Structure 1
Amino acid sequence: MLQEGTKGVMGTTGKETGIWGIKISGVSLPLYLVMLAILVVTIALGKLPTTMMGPIAVLVLLGNLFHFIGNKLPIVKTYLGGGSVFCIFASAALATFGILPSYVVDATEGFINNMGFLDFYIAALITGSILGMSRDLLIKASIRFIPVALISMVVAFFAVGLVGMLIGNGFADSVLYVSLPAMAGGVGAGAVPLSTIYANFLGVDSADIISRLIPATAMTNVMAIIGAALIARAGESAPKLNGHGKLMEKGNLDNTKPKAVKPEISQLGVGLMVSAVFFLLGQVGNYFFPQIHAYAFMIIFVVICKVTNILPQYYEDSAVMFNNLIVKNLTAAVLAGIGIALLNLNVLASALTWQFVVLCITSVVTISVVAGFVGRLFGLYPVESTITAGLCNNSMGGTGNVAVLSASNRMELIAFAQMGNRLGGALVLILSGFLIQLFS
């Protein structure tokens, strides 16, 4: 029975109503505002801890707030990447314009760059995403879908480079700072490790690099979302080219769905260990072949284990559970951390030239057209091939895939979008280590 005094807060069914029914990451809005107020007072008093707990509180509370707002703003949520993009740029604005005190920004930068918070997130993301795929999907897709995606990426790579040469931007600068970040699979598992690879070889701070990478990732993501909606609409008038959510004209590849597991508390710790060990294997591979980044080795080892079925189901499920836990609860925090610690809005503003916009358009248009044409040759429906093998490989990873597929009403193809991002992104990371040496 409800206690007296809760009228207007709880309905007759026991559910929160009104303003209490608005929730940010599971917390009612009034209570969330109290939490934010406590954070603001702590920062104002100069008492925010500069150890782990301080930055975590800042990133979780601000990240979830900005992510919530971005998903509610009409134009932002539909065409500009929603909460993910808004979270990055709103957080970056707090740091760039001095709204956050310098000691908070410094502590957050240390947590992101020196304590390995991003490594922790990326390890869970890579391991869980790949082990969560169906083995049959991974093998069957390699015959048709993977070649289409890779051919499209290669053509787009050279197209951006050649256009860059024609407009005076240069081949090297165009492919390193527009083409590769556009195809790297988003921010967390794409632009961030890519910036680390560049920074290691150039001997500069990764913050300087990522401020040049994120504009391309964000811009091509926006274009991919808009393009998916337009292509899906145009496909309605061409029934022979449109699979209406079915990728292949023949075969049963579309019946393979990504793995879904129910959370089990006892396995979360196992998933943490599995992710950590794969991360360590990446470090070992990087020791013997320093030209190839540890993240790339990590992806390679996970794919090998998945294809050869070495890991028992229990451990795969554990990694998927841990990945779900981390992605669900820490993605907004990671995005806020990227904005505060790694994105300089002044550098970003200087990157938005007409040449940059032309190169982003070149990347999206080329990868789309090639994916549709080559997909047709490989027995795929051109509309679906264009969206999954093309546009999704110019989106911001998982969140970008959801936005692209939602815009085209083809969410059932999420497994292919994820696969193209992860495998294509892995190749981008592997090649980037060689290309940065070749062009620098």
Structure 2
Amino acid sequence: MVNNGKKGFKLYGAPWYLTLIVCLIILGTMYMGGIGTDMPSTFALMLAIGIPLNEIGKRLPIWNKYIGGGILLAFLGSSVIGTYHLIPSEYVTSIDNFTSEINFLTFYIVVLITGSVLSLERNILLRSFAGYFPAILGGFAGAILLAIVGGMFFGISPGELVTHYTLPIMGGGNGGGAIPLSEIYADITGEGSDVYYSFAIIILTVGNIFAIFAAALLNKLGQAFPKLTGDGKTLIRGTEEADIADEEYTPTLADVASGLMLGLGAYVVGLLFSSVLLPEIFGFPIHELAYMVIFVVILCGFGVVPKNVRMGAKRLQTFFTKHLTLLIMVGVGVDLDLNELLAAITFSNIIVSLFIIIGAVVGSGFVGYLVGFYPIDTAVTAGLCMANRGGSGDLAVLGAANRMDLIAYAQLSSRLGGAIILVLASVLFSILL
């Protein structure tokens, strides 16, 4: 609830009682089997789940200040709902399908990438991307170093700590990381890919949870020490004024529509390159969202997009970030199987995974600081967004860190950064196994 200072408390922009009545009607109708599994029904159900969880998370003592607030509770609460089927299973499936099969998740990312990239002054944008990949490698190096330190307590060999622990966590997720890593492992060792994958997905799951909690803690650290972080929109220190927002110009609905059109067009260009023109580089597939980021950066760099379109894209991104992030947290939360996570909770797995996450944070933040970036923002994107479960993990991490405007950098970590890890993995498997 938010006090607007005039007419009492509001919840999700409406009087609290109105929002509460709507949520109760939706949930009651769902339990009576009265809503469908189509898009509008699922959309409504996700809001009815996400709004109360978000509100509770914002008001829980300790949780709201030190753990992650409303967004993180919406994510974990939805995971509890999905894992233990607290709602009928057909609705769990419909939420999962809406997020992944209908692919609202990718649509959300497309909107955020377009708005976040086009809202920055082009020179600042190009400078930040130029220094970003050293920060990714710094995070990877830090993760390896602390993995070895953590594994020493359990007698795990350095080679195994790199290949079986660090690579899965830092590999860019499941589909773009753990699965191709298991195939590379099988090609080099001659063993079945399932031998590697069954352990990699466990470690990745543990690392993903630690990454989300670490993002929330970094957000609190930034609030306590403002000099370590920027405005959540750019990485380079002292460039907060680089946003194109102009109070003298308010984007129209036509501007918003043009920003959406440009974003979808850029996404299709990404599909064109990833599926037809240049699907692989050095034998490794490049994701369409990575190509999309590159294309939008090029458009911004050459200054060919009119200001009204850029501001329209930014306005649309702001709407999605402020009001639709709840849907994403519900969608990715439902997809997290807590039983899978509980099965992975051994003392050694927890400690080694925690050390890897700390290493990714410290390594990326340190290198980021050296190249002129804010260390906290760099640690969130170049570190933690390498150490999660890809696209959905990026959104969970950025949501917990309250830095959704940095989605373009997060996608570079998961997509291009993940591809870099695959290249390194082929070398490391050959040397260490």
Q: Check whether TM > 0.5.
A: yes
Mapping for residues 16-415 of structure 1, pairs under 5 Å:
16-17=7-8, 21=9, 23-141=10-128, 146=132, 149-159=135-145, 162=148, 167=154, 168=156, 170-180=161-171, 194-198=173-177, 201=180, 213=204, 215-226=206-217, 253-254=238-239, 256-260=241-245, 262-287=250-275, 288-290=278-280, 291-340=285-334, 342-370=335-363, 374=367, 378=371, 380=372, 385-390=374-379, 393-395=382-384
CA–CA separation in structure 1 for the residues paired with 2:96 and 2:401: 31
CA–CA separation in structure 2 for the residues paired with 1:436 and 1:109: 31
Task: Summarize the Cα distance change of 1:156–1:94 in structure 2 as closer, same or farther, 3 Å threshold.
Answer: same
Shift of 1:307: 1.8
Task: Summarize the Cα distance change of 1:72–1:148 in structure 2 as closer, same or farther, 3 Å threshold.
Answer: farther
CA–CA separation in structure 1 for the residues paired with 2:228 and 2:106: 38
Q: Is the 8 A contact 2:139 2:383 kept in 1?
A: no
Question: Alignment RMSD, CA only?
Answer: 4.1
Q: Is the 8 A contact 1:279 1:295 kept in 2?
A: yes
1:369-404 CA distances to partner (integer Å, 9 max, x unpaired)? 4456556755x5xxx844333356445767856866
CA–CA separation in structure 1 for the residues paired with 2:228 and 2:89: 52
Q: Which amino acid aligns with 2:354?
A: I
3-state SS of the aligned residue for 2:239? helix
CA–CA separation in structure 2 for the residues paired with 1:156 and 1:431: 16
Q: After alignment, is 105-114 or 92-101 more displaced?
A: 105-114
Shift of 1:213: 4.5
Aligned length: 387
Task: Summarize the Cα distance change of 1:418–1:293 in structure 2 as closer, same or farther, 3 Å threshold.
Answer: closer
3-state SS of the aligned residue for 2:300? helix
CA–CA separation in structure 2 for the residues paired with 1:373 and 1:33: 46
CA–CA separation in structure 1 for the residues paired with 2:320 and 2:215: 26
- Which stretches in structure 1 are left out of the alignment for 5+ residues? 1-10, 182-193, 236-241, 406-410
Mapping for residues 1-12 of structure 1, pairs under 5 Å:
none
CA–CA separation in structure 1 for the residues paired with 2:320 and 2:201: 23
CA–CA separation in structure 2 for the residues paired with 1:298 and 1:35: 38
Q: Is the 8 A contact 1:140 1:253 kept in 2?
A: no
* Structure 1 stretches of 4+ moved >6 Å: 208-212, 230-233, 244-247, 435-440
Q: Is the 8 A contact 1:217 1:394 kept in 2?
A: no
1:139-188 CA distances to partner (integer Å, 9 max, x unpaired)? 33456x5366234223224336645775546433323442345xxxxxxx
Shift of 1:312: 2.6
Q: Which amino acid aligns with 2:245?
A: A
- Which stretches in structure 2 are left out of the alignment for 5+ residues? 184-192, 194-198, 386-393
Q: Is the 8 A contact 1:164 1:174 kept in 2?
A: no
CA–CA separation in structure 1 for the residues paired with 2:309 and 2:230: 31
Task: Summarize the Cα distance change of 1:103–1:395 in structure 2 as closer, same or farther, 3 Å threshold.
Answer: same
